[in-house]
A and B are shown apart, each in its own frame.
Chain A
């Protein structure tokens, strides 16, 4: 486990811009010795560009020092619920960085990119098999863009049915990721929130009551953000279709069900996946990801451009579906991420993917029973990939908030779980151990959380100041928002 040492100096006060000396440089540029072409002054930059002037070694040390102030999945357990922080196999990076793949130009004639295109075609087939939704576009850059694609496909289908004008609502559960309502709004819909029933599944009576000719779609996360199976979703799907609406799957939590049940078989019309989560590509500190969108026959004509198809001549090509919602990126999507995801798919195979979902679910349940009784568990039943505890008892009895618990977990060497989400769980602690944590790591995480629960009773003050061992202490987020400083300034005018 990486130990992050507190700084002795105020490291963050000095950016690269404040380091080095005028005249130092980190790389030389070849000198042009041929004929000179003048560029009219009117087009030239007028101000002198302010960038750091550092030697190569200084720059490498600066960013190495920054990396040491970060925590990744290679540093230790990272049970960030809903984000599926599992081990990222290094072979996948190696494969994607081979010059034949990495140097391929996006405008290259497609005959000269058959290695990439065939790989994307096979990834497409694999995702279709896994989701039971036969048509796939790999274009979306991340989950939220996949969601936008899915909702715009529904928009286009309704338009072709002549029903877009009346169908202006999308139903979204109150446990949904924030991207779901934000996406619905971005596509011009109003959002109706559906409450969660006592068993942690959607309130079916409420859905039935809301379903009418003004509903375009229902967006559901399966398994849901409580880590629970959405009971009876296959019956709700029939009701939704009877009402003329579409059923959308947020596939962020696919890791729990890979190889065991498929969105298409359950009656979903369209789903997006998060390959950086379920297919274990590096999360990069917030991307790049990839958010392919998979759909039924009915919605296939509307998929985003491009899709990958094989011609009768055996050549694989990009194509535009006949009623496509259009492009989502200038080129073809996050191809480097898609290649890694394909390597992951091939490394596991069906048995491997079933072992992934089985172990992910076993690990989450193991953590559930190890922590049972130490924290409140509002939905007390077997879970799938993640388990959502509540710190409400600690808050009520000892004045220790979930925020404090998360910060104290840093002192025990763990990345904290997702907190205060889903919004329907008070003081939520959302833990997703994933299949790549060995049982002893899960036991150590549970022991740390139990020790923290005991500490909350005994010594709440130490928790209010945590973390104590991190490179920096708690930061003033209120002031950051109230008096925003968002870029480097010359030292004279810096005022934080």
Chain B
């Protein structure tokens, strides 16, 4: 058995530099007897309560404990076909290298632009990339995740249209629906989940559409934009930014606001977070947008005589924000997901215009090839819902629960069971995702396992 070092003379912990001698010198200067005296304002009867926490661990002990915990999760190399909102991507190696530079990672909100140009200029890069992908005029520096960004889009739509109901077109991620409901409740906004576009009406502030939809299908946005606009409602598109390397930009198809999730390209799925919610809009909504926005400007004066002021970046249009506008702010958001936004930006720029398209095409081809192979197997079917991108429904000779179990016993994680959904194609089906980052060997293992399951059924 070992235990943590503890010495009354040295510093109390590697994270706390002051030694006992330092403390004595500081206390003397302050003019109090001990540290406890500095807490004299706290109510005496409630001070220093009994608190039950496990004992402190040294670094090697922490690594041992949490290494074992990480190993208690599923083997990260195990074949998995889970998607439904989080997708394995080929993340370029330079992304984590650059975002782990501590000048980026250990800074905070860039309140002092003169020593925060790294965060600010890369925030401007992020806004530019998001605008290019979505076909929108303006973007902010990112919100918490796609669902909360979509909720903020709904609140914006309600404010500008002065309507108190928003419409979500199914199939849309159930997590997004739930988050919109949470935010809407506070704002007194009603949420309609529509099974058909025919149900959009003059009561709706916006129509929210997911692209590709929750069951993987590519949505033709233009008629939806027309339908929303016919009722003076906004079209909010919840788009996968990676798919937009290939698919028509929502702005080009008539969307008014586009949200999206940037986590997949930024790095590992991390059990769903940290994420980054993309938020882009038409310029007429600029002053109603939530979150931080970076603007380009110049120095007030050149430091060199006769020189030109140089270009720099600042947080701008802050009169929308909580720390200035308080209860009249467009949102309460403050700290968001800047480091994940940076990772997303670098990943997109590493891929570049051609690499992104090629990567999205590879994803499309790989997924369709896998689906085709499964569809050819006796006992299996791929219920079609029109063109799709990277996710497809699989119906097998056994129930979805049995298929999941039988794949698990063969060391494979099946797609998500969506058989409880109302769409007829989802009946008895699992939702499989295959992406550009799914190894061929994993698809081969899946096909082999399905063949065995089919033969046994």
Residues on B with C-beta less than 8 A from A130 are 51, 53
Return the chain A residue nearest B296 by Cβ: A485
Q: What is the CA–CA distance of A182 and B421 in the complex, to the nearest angstrom? A: 37
Whether the pair B324, A178 counts as a contact (CB closer than 8 A) is yes
Whether the pair A362, B76 counts as a contact (CB closer than 8 A) is no
Q: Is B181 an interface residue (CB 8 A)?
A: yes
Q: A50-B132, A481-B316 are in contact. Are A186 and B331 (CB under 8 A)?
A: yes
Whether the pair A106, B269 counts as a contact (CB closer than 8 A) is yes
Min CB gap A23→B, angstroms: 9
Q: What is the CA–CA distance of A155 and B187 in the complex, to the nearest angstrom? A: 11
Whether the pair B115, A285 counts as a contact (CB closer than 8 A) is no
Whether the pair A105, B269 counts as a contact (CB closer than 8 A) is yes
Q: What is the CA–CA distance of A326 and B94 in the complex, to the nearest angstrom? A: 37
**Stretch binding the partner chain, chosen from B199-207, B227-235, B336-344:** B336-344
Whether the pair A52, B275 counts as a contact (CB closer than 8 A) is no
Residues on A with C-beta less than 8 A from B49 are 132, 261-262, 265
Whether the pair B297, A496 counts as a contact (CB closer than 8 A) is yes
Q: What is the CA–CA distance of A421 and B397 in the complex, to the nearest angstrom? A: 65
Interchain Cβ contacts under 8 Å between A and B, 17 examples:
A10-B310, A13-B310, A26-B355, A66-B121, A72-B103, A100-B72, A113-B271, A116-B69, A181-B327, A184-B327, A229-B42, A265-B49, A288-B338, A349-B56, A366-B29, A473-B301, A486-B316
Min CB gap A495→B, angstroms: 10
Residues on B with C-beta less than 8 A from A470 are 114-115
**Stretch binding the partner chain, chosen from B142-150, B377-385, B449-457:** B142-150
Q: Is B166 an interface residue (CB 8 A)?
A: no
Residues on B with C-beta less than 8 A from A129 are 51-53
Q: Is A141 an interface residue (CB 8 A)?
A: yes
Whether the pair A25, B355 counts as a contact (CB closer than 8 A) is yes
Min CB gap A321→B, angstroms: 13
The 9 A-B pairs with the shortest beta carbon distances in the complex, nearest first, are A331-B272, A70-B118, A106-B272, A100-B70, A284-B339, A349-B56, A72-B106, A115-B72, A330-B175
Q: Is B348 an interface residue (CB 8 A)?
A: yes
Q: What is the CA–CA distance of A44 and B198 in the complex, to the nearest angstrom? A: 26
Residues on A with C-beta less than 8 A from B31 are 369
Residues on B with C-beta less than 8 A from A40 are 387
Min CB gap A405→B, angstroms: 12
Whether the pair B22, A439 counts as a contact (CB closer than 8 A) is yes
Return the chain A residue nearest B176 by Cβ: A330
Q: What is the CA–CA distance of A177 and B333 in the complex, to the nearest angstrom? A: 12
Residues on A with C-beta less than 8 A from B116 are 69-71, 285
Q: Is A34 an interface residue (CB 8 A)?
A: yes
Q: 4 new A-B pairs (CB below 8 Å) besides A283-B335, A382-B32, A438-B22? A: A51-B132, A96-B270, A100-B72, A487-B138
Min CB gap B68→A, angstroms: 8
Min CB gap B352→A, angstroms: 5
Q: B94 touches which one: A60, A118, A336 (CB < 8 A)?
A: A60
Q: Is A210 an interface residue (CB 8 A)?
A: no
> How many A-B pairs fall under 8 Å by CB?
720
Q: What is the CA–CA distance of A368 and B27 in the complex, to the nearest angstrom? A: 12
Whether the pair B107, A330 counts as a contact (CB closer than 8 A) is no
Q: Is B182 an interface residue (CB 8 A)?
A: yes
Residues on A with C-beta less than 8 A from B6 are 351
Q: A142 touches which one: B146, B294, B336, B368 (CB < 8 A)?
A: B336
Q: What is the CA–CA distance of A35 and B147 in the complex, to the nearest angstrom? A: 36
Whether the pair B336, A472 counts as a contact (CB closer than 8 A) is no
Interface positions, chain B 359-385, Cβ under 8 Å from A, are 359, 361-362, 364-366, 368-369, 372
Residues on B with C-beta less than 8 A from A348 are 13, 15, 56
Residues on B with C-beta less than 8 A from A109 are 408, 413
Q: Is B193 an interface residue (CB 8 A)?
A: no
Q: A101-B73, A112-B74 are in contact. Are A329 and B187 (CB under 8 A)?
A: no
Min CB gap B83→A, angstroms: 8
Interface positions, chain A 210-261, Cβ under 8 Å from B, are 228-229, 231, 234, 257, 259-261
Q: What is the CA–CA distance of A49 and B350 in the complex, to the nearest angstrom? A: 14
Residue interface bits A19-54, CB-to-B below 8 A is 1, else 0? 000001111111110111101101111111111111
Whether the pair A416, B112 counts as a contact (CB closer than 8 A) is yes
Q: What is the CA–CA distance of A178 and B15 in the complex, to the nearest angstrom? A: 31
Residues on A with C-beta less than 8 A from B32 are 365, 382
Whether the pair B268, A103 counts as a contact (CB closer than 8 A) is yes
Whether the pair A148, B294 counts as a contact (CB closer than 8 A) is no
Interface positions, chain A 420-439, Cβ under 8 Å from B, are 421, 435-439
Whether the pair A54, B352 counts as a contact (CB closer than 8 A) is yes
Q: Is A287 an interface residue (CB 8 A)?
A: yes
Q: A72 touches which one: B102, B131, B342 (CB < 8 A)?
A: B102
Residue interface bits B98-121, CB-to-A below 8 A is 1, else 0? 101111111111111111111101
Q: What is the CA–CA distance of A87 and B84 in the complex, to the nearest angstrom? A: 37
Return the chain B residue nearest A119 by Cβ: B69
Residue interface bits B162-188, CB-to-A below 8 A is 1, else 0? 000000000001011011011101111
Min CB gap B287→A, angstroms: 10
Q: Is B286 an interface residue (CB 8 A)?
A: yes
Q: B248 touches which one: A43, A91, A335 (CB < 8 A)?
A: A43
Q: Is B444 an interface residue (CB 8 A)?
A: no
Q: Is B441 an interface residue (CB 8 A)?
A: no
Min CB gap B238→A, angstroms: 10
Whether the pair B98, A64 counts as a contact (CB closer than 8 A) is yes
Min CB gap A10→B, angstroms: 4
Whether the pair B122, A63 counts as a contact (CB closer than 8 A) is yes
Whether the pair A45, B56 counts as a contact (CB closer than 8 A) is no
Whether the pair A141, B273 counts as a contact (CB closer than 8 A) is yes
Min CB gap A195→B, angstroms: 15
The interface centre, meaning the residue of A66, A94, A144, A368 with most chain B CB atoms within 10 A of its CB, is A66
Q: A39-B387, A181-B326, A187-B186 are in contact. Are A107 and B86 (CB under 8 A)?
A: yes
Whether the pair A365, B30 counts as a contact (CB closer than 8 A) is yes
Min CB gap A347→B, angstroms: 6
Residues on B with C-beta less than 8 A from A93 are 100
Min CB gap B323→A, angstroms: 4
Min CB gap B343→A, angstroms: 10
Q: What is the CA–CA distance of A47 and B249 in the complex, to the nearest angstrom? A: 8
Q: What is the CA–CA distance of A337 and B271 in the complex, to the nearest angstrom? A: 11
Return the chain A residue nearest B12 by Cβ: A355
Q: What is the CA–CA distance of A12 and B146 in the complex, to the nearest angstrom? A: 30
Residues on A with C-beta less than 8 A from B113 are 472, 475, 477
Residues on B with C-beta less than 8 A from A37 are 364-365, 368-369, 372
Whether the pair B313, A178 counts as a contact (CB closer than 8 A) is no
Q: A7-B310, A361-B39, A481-B317 are in contact. Are A282 and B339 (CB under 8 A)?
A: yes
Q: Is B139 an interface residue (CB 8 A)?
A: yes
Return the chain A residue nearest B29 by Cβ: A369
Whether the pair A59, B313 counts as a contact (CB closer than 8 A) is no
Residues on B with C-beta less than 8 A from A43 are 218, 220, 247-248, 387
Q: B346 touches which one: A59, A69, A114 (CB < 8 A)?
A: A59
Min CB gap B417→A, angstroms: 10
